[in-house]
Chains A and B, each alone.
Chain A
């Protein structure tokens, strides 16, 4: 079982350009998430989706957009990249469970993005 795949593994992007980070899961999880990981700041939630067709804003959503057309895919788009978006991006998924239920998240391997 592949679990969660992310593409690309890494990317160097010129400021002002757009880019879509891809995330696909094969576990049929309803909930999916995008995080960015920055030194000293841990993981911060960008956007999430509880089920196909719905999305929500996380802690740091500005400059990012997501869509959830189906259960398996949850792409993250940077419309006009800026250097502050240089980070490592992780996609994750889980069964949504009941509110606050202790379901486990599963993470992809990450995409390292550098915006110059």
Chain B
């Protein structure tokens, strides 16, 4: 079955340090991959998406993600973390079978420590 996996339940990073939130995928064909962020008591917000082309995708709030086909990964990165980046992050992909369904990972909680 097609899926995305987020191997870390929580990531802690000091403010100002680079951050990485990991995502690996198991998707047939060309994967359309997304990152969403959820702040406390809020709905999910779109951060960025990979379609085709450049493997480094730039998104909102200074985030970027690197698509690596050989490692089937789509890790979310930011050069310098802010305390306000603390949130729950979800990786997702969209099925290419015509059902329009999205499959989400289980989420990774990012804590940026001052």
Task: Mark A residues whose CB is within 8 Å of B.
Answer: 4, 31, 33, 35, 40-45, 48, 50, 56, 58, 90, 92, 94, 96-97, 99-110
CB distance from A32 to the nearest CB of B (A): 10
- B32–A45 touching, CB < 8 Å: no
> Please, how many residues of chain B have a CB less than 8 angstroms from a CB on the other chain?
30
- A110–B96 touching, CB < 8 Å: no
- A100–B97 touching, CB < 8 Å: yes
* 20 examples of A-B residue contacts, CB within 8 angstroms: A4-B43, A42-B106, A45-B101, A50-B100, A90-B43, A90-B44, A94-B100, A96-B100, A99-B96, A99-B97, A100-B97, A102-B50, A103-B94, A104-B34, A104-B49, A105-B44, A105-B46, A109-B42, A109-B43, A110-B43
Residue among A4, A33, A102, A110 making CB contact with B51, cutoff 8 Å: A102
Per-residue A-contact encoding for B14-51, CB less than 8 Å = 1, 0 else: 00000000000000011010101000011111100111
